Amino acid sequence: MACPSSRSKVTTHTHSSQAEKRVHGTGTSVPGLPAAAATAAIMFWKFDLNNTSHIDQLLDREGVTLRELMEEEDVLQECKAQNRKLLLFLSKDHCMLELVTLITEEPPSDLEEKTRFKFPNIACELLTSDVALINDKLGGDESLLEKLYHFLEQEPPLNPLLASFFSKTIGNLIARKTDQVISFLRKKHNFISLVLNHIDASAMMDLLLRLISCVEPAPLRMEVLNVNEEVQNIPHSRQSNASQTLCDIIRLSRDQANQLSEVTEPDPLLAVLESQENVAELLKNMFEGERTEASVVNGTEVLLTLLESRRSGSYTVNSSILRAIEPHLKDFQQLLLNPPMRSAILTTVGVLEQPLGSARLHVARLVASLLQTYDLSICQEICRLNTMDLLLDLFFKYTWNNFLHLQVELCVASILNHSNSTSDPANTPIQDALVANLFQHCRLVQRILDAWEENDKIQAEGGRRRGNMGHLTRIANTVVQNLEKGLAHSQINDLIKELPEDCRGRWESFVGDTLRETNRRNTVDLVSTHNLHSSSEDDDMESPFPNDLSIQQAFSDYQIQQMTANFVDQFGFNDEEFSEHDENINAAFDRIAEINFNIDADDHSANSAAFEACCKERIQQFDDCEEEEDIWDEKEINYATQIKSRSRFGVSLSSDSSPKSAVRNGGGGCGSASEEEDVEEEASPQHSAVAQTQSECYNITHNSESFR
C-alpha cells in the first residue's frame, strides 16, 4: 500500500503531464514545466482569453445594423482603439446620419427612462471619440453640419441632455476642424441669435466659450461672435445665464490678450465689450422701462467684471467704462434709497421686515470697486451725492449682514488710502474732500463711538454682541493707522481736533483703552504652548536614567542603528562629522565611553540562580560519536505518559498529561532520569535540534531579562 505522500506525488505528476498534453495538443510533455504554469495555461485556453472581438464577428455578418453594434459593451473601446473595420462601418453615410439624428432628436417618450437616452449617449461618445476618420467625415459633410445646426432652430426650451450632446459634438469639431466649422458658421447670420435664444441651457454657454478659446485670429472671432447686437434683447428669464456668459467672455478675452503680449492690436471683441457705447446701452436696459431686481443684479455683475483689474498690474480699467457709468451714479443712489420691493423674511435673529436685498448689496459692491479706481470724476460724483452716508446708514441698520459690512469697510479703506495710492497733485483736492466728507458729513467717529457704547449696553443686559462689531473694529483700526502714519494723517488730525470736546475725549479714551484691549483679545493665541509642564505625578517621579543629555542621546543613537553587516563600522558617527573638523570623529565614542550600564558580574541574585537552574535542566549534551542520521526521515515518535511542568523560575510540578498536552508543551518535559532517557532514545535528531533551538531562544530571552 502506497503512503499518502507517494500517492500525492503520483497524482501531481499525472495532472502536470495531462496539462502539458492539453497545452501542446500532443502527448509529448515539456520537461520542467511546473504544475502551476500548466494550470494557468489550461485556464487561458479553456476560457479563451485571447479571443477576437465580438464586434468583428458582427461586422463579418451581412445586414448588421448600427443599433446592434451599439448594443455591444466594448464598441467605444474598439472605436478608440482604431478598429479599422468598425471605423469604416461607422463612417458610412447612413451610419453618420443616424448618429447625428440620435443626438439632435428626442427619443420616443414611451421608452423606459433608464434606457431612453442610452443610444444618444453612445452616439455622442462615438462622434467625439477624437478619431480622425470620424472627425473628417463629420466636419467635411455639410449635410451633417446642417443636421446639427437644425437643432438650434427648435423652439426653447431644449432638452438639457440633448443640448449637452450637441454642445460637446460641435465643440469637438471646433477644436479639431476649426476651418471647416467656422466657414460653415460664417454663412449662418443668425447663429448667435439662435444660441442666445437657448442661453438658459448651460451647454450653450459652454459652446460660446469654446468658440472664443478656439477661433483665431481675433477679427474672425469677432465676425462669428457678434454678441454686441444680440445680448440686449434677451428676456429677463434668461438674463442670469447671459450675464454669466458675458463675464466669462470678458475674463477669457483679457487672459488671452495678456498672454499675447507681442500683439499690439487690441482684441476687437474685447474692445466692443469695453466700449462706452456698449456699457451705456447696458445701463440703459437696467434703468429704463421695467426696473427689476434681476436686471439690476445681472447688469451690475457685468459692470463689476469690467471694473476688475489684475493684481499684477498688467491691466487697468478702461476709462470708457468709467465715463459710461458716471452719469448713472444717481440711478444707483436712488436704488439705495428706494430698492425693489421685497417681502419680509424670517432669519435666525428674527423677522426682517425690509430685507437689504441683492440689488442694494450689488450697488455697495459697485461703489467699492469705483472708489478703488481712484478716478477723479467718479470720486467727486460720489462725494457730491453723499453716497458714503447712505452706505454707513445701511451698515448700522443691517447689523447682521456681513456681506454689506465688508463692502462698507472697503469703501472707508479706499477713501483713507487715497493719498497712499496716487501722487497726482490734481487729485489732491478731491481726495481731501472725500476724507472731509467721511469725518464731517458722515460723522464716522461719532457713529463708531455711539455704536460701540450701544453694543456694550446690550451685552451688559445679557444680550448678544452685534454682528457688525468685527468690521467696526477694523474700520476703527484703519482710522487710527492713518491718523498715526498715513500720508493724510495731518488732515485727519485736524478733523479730529475739530470734533466737540466731549466727543474728542471719548475718542481718545476709546482708542487708548477700549480699542487697545479689543485688539489684544483678538490677537491672543487660542492655544498657548508656553509653560506647559507634566502632571504632578510625573514631577514626583525620579527618573532611573542619568540626566546627562549627551548620554541619553548616545544611547538613543545606539538603539535606532540598523543591525547590518557594517553596523560596527557605522556606529557612533556619521558622514557629516567628517566634513567639519577632525576632532569630531571621536566625539561619539567619547560619549559612549561615559555610559555606565552598571553591570556587576559578581552579583548572585535570585534571578541569576533561577537562570542557572534553567540552563542545567534545559541544555542536553549531544553525543558526537552517535551515528549521523537524516533528520528529514519520517519516524514514529512516542512521548512519555508523564511529564513534569516547570514554572518560569524552575519550580517543578508533576502531573499526568495526555499525548496532546505533551505535544502542546513541546514534548520537552523534565521528568525522572528514566523518563528522560526514554525520550532521548525515542526522539529523532530532528526533535532534538528543535529542542536545542527552543532552549537557546529561552536562554537568550532570560539572559536579557537578568541583564535588565
For the chain, give the number of residues.
708
Do residues 358 and 293 lie in contact, with contact meaning Cβ atoms separated by under 8 Å? yes
What pLDDT sits at residue 312? 46
Do residues 360 and 336 lie in contact, with contact meaning Cβ atoms separated by under 8 Å? yes
Average of per-residue pLDDT across 188-204? 87
Average of per-residue pLDDT across 634-642? 54
The 3-state DSSP class for residue 603 equals coil
Nearest-10 Cα torsion for 25, 29, 32, 38:
40
What pLDDT sits at residue 623? 52
Backbone phi, then psi, for 487, in 5-degree steps?
Answer: -65, -20
Do residues 260 and 319 lie in contact, with contact meaning Cβ atoms separated by under 8 Å? no
Do residues 405 and 356 lie in contact, with contact meaning Cβ atoms separated by under 8 Å? no
Nearest-10 Cα torsion for 467, 468, 474, 479:
-160
Classify burial at 201, counting beta carbons within 10 Å of its beta carbon; exposed 0-12, middle 13-18, buried 19 or more: buried
C-alpha cell of 485?
A: 502714519
Do residues 143 and 101 lie in contact, with contact meaning Cβ atoms separated by under 8 Å? no
Average of per-residue pLDDT across 167-171? 93
Return the percent helix, strand and coil in the chain, to nearest 5: 65, 0, 30
User: Which amino acid is residue 311, in one-letter code?
Assistant: R
Distance set, CA 699 to CA 146, 603, 611, 650, 707 (Å):
92, 18, 8, 13, 12
- Range of 35-44, 163-172, 612-621 with top mean pLDDT: 163-172
Q: Residue 642: in which H helix or E strand, if any?
A: strand 642-646
What pLDDT sits at residue 235? 62
Q: How is 686-700 classified by DSSP, letter by letter?
A: HHHHHHHHHHHHHHH
Distance set, CA 184 to CA 136, 224, 598 (Å):
14, 10, 95
Q: What is the pLDDT of residues 269-301, one digit of tens each?
A: 888 888 999 999 999 988 887 778 888 999 999
Place of cell 532534538: 688
Average of per-residue pLDDT across 54-59? 86
Rounded to whole angstroms, how far apart are CA atoms 389 and 385? 9
Q: What is the pLDDT of residues 222-259, one digit of tens each?
A: 766 665 555 555 666 678 888 998 899 899 888 877 77
Average of per-residue pLDDT across 160-185? 91
Do residues 221 and 215 lie in contact, with contact meaning Cβ atoms separated by under 8 Å? yes
What pLDDT sits at residue 316? 74
Place of cell 523560575: 649
Rounded to whole angstroms, how far apart are CA atoms 695 and 692? 5
Rounded to whole angstroms, how far apart are CA atoms 195 and 156? 10
State the average pLDDT for the chain: 75
What pLDDT sits at residue 643? 44
The pTM score is: 0.64
Q: Indicate if the pLDDT at residue 600 is higher than 60.
A: no
C-alpha cell of 697?
A: 531562544
DSSP character for 237? G
What pLDDT sits at residue 15? 44
Report the candidate in 257, 261, 260 with the shortest Cα–Cα distance to residue 273.
Answer: 257
Place of cell 504554469: 37
Q: What is the pLDDT of residues 430-476, one digit of tens each?
A: 788 899 999 999 999 999 999 999 999 999 999 999 999 999 999 99
Q: Residue 645: in which H helix or E strand, if any?
A: strand 642-646
Q: How confident is the model at residue 4 (pLDDT cuts 50, 70, 90)?
A: very low
Q: Indicate if the pLDDT at residue 344 is higher than 60.
A: yes
- Range of 131-135, 591-595, 649-653 with top mean pLDDT: 131-135
Distance set, CA 102 to CA 67, 118, 165, 527 (Å):
11, 10, 10, 63
Q: Indicate if the pLDDT at residue 691 is higher than 70.
A: no
Which is higher by pLDDT, 350 or 339?
A: 339
Neighbours of 55 (CB within 10 A): 22
Do residues 165 and 121 lie in contact, with contact meaning Cβ atoms separated by under 8 Å? yes
Q: How confident is the model at residue 144 (pLDDT cuts 50, 70, 90)?
A: very high
Lowest pLDDT segment from 4-8, 517-521, 618-622: 4-8
Half-sphere exposure of residue 411, counting CA atoms within 13 Å on the CB side?
30
- Range of 90-94, 232-236, 565-569, 596-600 with top mean pLDDT: 90-94
Which is higher by pLDDT, 12 or 430?
A: 430
Neighbours of 235 (CB within 10 A): 11
Q: Indicate if the pLDDT at residue 30 is higher than 50.
A: no
Lowest pLDDT segment from 71-75, 483-487, 585-589, 681-685: 681-685
